[in-house]
Amino acid sequence: MNELTPTERRALRARAHSLHPVVSISQKGLSDSVLAEIERGLKAHELIKVRVYGIERDARETVHAEICSRLDAAAIQHIGNVLVVYRANPEAPAAPVKPAKKPVSRSRQKTPVPPATSRQRLRK
């Protein structure tokens, strides 16, 4: 996969902040079924979190690199037992760009006040 710029990586880390892990890897390690599940998650969401249990830090870094190399993905972040992986989905339609709205002047935002009736004028 093409390397991401630091700005793109920062934006993806921010997007991943609110995500929950989609796949868990335990002591058995990275099996074919786990890779298949990560593949499905990447196809559906592009950006996923993977939780790793019972594996030391160096081994987690190796697992993260192996996931990225075997699935043609980018390693976004590795914090504690959570790995963040990204792969752009070429099949997904691009998000439509919304045109910027013109700012409305303050005078146009006020609602017009209806003219007072004769009874209301007498009370004042």
Give CA–CA dist 39/45, Å, rounded.
Answer: 10
pLDDT at 84: 96
- The pLDDT confidence band at residue 14, using thresholds 50, 70 and 90, is very high
Q: Which of 68, 59, 61, 63 is nearest to 30 (CA)?
A: 63
pLDDT at 64: 94
Q: What is the pLDDT of residues 34-75, one digit of tens each?
A: 999 999 999 999 999 999 998 898 999 999 999 999 999 999
Domain residue spans of the chain? 6-86
| Cβ atoms 30, 54 nearer than 8 A | no
Would you say residue 116 has pLDDT above 80?
A: no
Q: What is the pLDDT of residues 86-107, one digit of tens each?
A: 999 877 555 555 566 666 666 6
Determine whether domain 6-86 maps to CATH 3.30.110.60. Answer: yes
pTM for the whole thing?
Answer: 0.69
pLDDT at 13: 94
pLDDT at 113: 67
